[in-house]
Amino acid sequence: MNTLPLTVQSPKTCLELDIPLHAYTDSDTHVAQLVGTLLNDTAGVDHEFSHADVLQTLAITTAVRMAMAEAAEQGGDGFSLQLLGVDVEPAKKCALRVA
């Protein structure tokens, strides 16, 4: 199984992560670029977001991308996406589990 090694730094913390990638991942490089872009864009906004707002934003974005993939599949583009087991806990628990 491929993994995505990732270092995330903020003024208060530094996280070292090694995230397993789904078997259907086409390009670990593209995944790394998108994760980096999302984290940098979020950090670059002038005001600080709550973790709950960021998680809801990502959940909505995921739902939109899934709908786009489904539409592409029905339109004959041959692209399909299956996202399995994503659970976002309430903000007070600050947990994100991807199965």
The tokens of 89 are what? 């806990």
Q: Is the per-residue pLDDT at 96 higher than 80? A: no
- Across all residues in the chain, what is the average pLDDT? 75
CA 47 to chain CA centroid, nearest Å: 21
**Across 54-76, average pLDDT:** 82
CA 5 to chain CA centroid, nearest Å: 14
pLDDT for the residue 85: 52
Per-residue pLDDT of 3-18, as tens digits, reads: 888 887 777 778 888 8
pLDDT for the residue 92: 47
Q: pTM of whole model > 0.85?
A: no
Ordered by start, the domain boundaries in the chain are 1-47, 49-99
